[in-house]
Amino acid sequence: MLDIPLQFRARVRHEPDRSYAVLVEGPDGEVQIGVTGSLREVRGVARQGAARLFGVPVDQIAEDRLHVVIPQPLYGRDGQWVRIVSAGDCTGAESLDLGVAGQAHWFDHEGAWFVTVAGSGTAIYPSEYLDFAAVLTEDEVAELRSYLARSVQPPS
């Protein structure tokens, strides 16, 4: 029987196709235990992988004992223009922004992006919802720049 650690560590490796390779630190070092196309599934994949590696039921891997590191992907940079290409199962304002251009900033705590869209504000999107090689029209760029400039101005 293996010693069960007090904390379980996992990290994500961003794949070029926007999927997430999940690696868990096991008794013999770090092991890739799965790949998922959804940021929402990363923690579940990590929990299941840690349970397999340590030979325990998944319910023994408590959420508060699992630390998952999601670094900023190499294919995205702070402040770049993006296009929202998916809204997943969103039903709120985010779904209204499908196809719209915005400016993205990495939100480390969530492992996702703050995306500001002219007229509708900022929402959080996982990498798989965004096109980082988006081609924006001159009108889209002008509208975004104007919106961003207004949003940083103090009220008069």
Sketch the domain layout of the chain as residue ranges. Answer: 8-69, 81-152
Mean pLDDT of 101-117: 94
pLDDT cut 70: percent of the chain above it: 89
Least confident residue range of 92-96, 145-149, 151-155: 92-96
Let me know: does 111 contact 12? Beta carbons within 8 Å. yes
The three-state secondary structure class of 61 is coil
Class of the domain covering 81-152: mainly beta
Beta 112-117 vs 66-69: how paired, if at all? unpaired
What's the rounded Cα separation, in Å, for the pair 68 and 48?
Answer: 13
Class of the domain covering 8-69: alpha beta
Beta 130-131 vs 81-84: how paired, if at all? antiparallel
The three-state secondary structure class of 33 is strand
Q: Which residues pair with 27 in a beta bridge?
A: none
What's the rounded Cα separation, in Å, for the pair 140 and 136?
Answer: 6
What's the rounded Cα separation, in Å, for the pair 151 and 134?
Answer: 23
The pLDDT value given to residue 91 = 45
The pLDDT value given to residue 97 = 78
- Give yes or no on whether 8-69 and 81-152 have one common fold: no
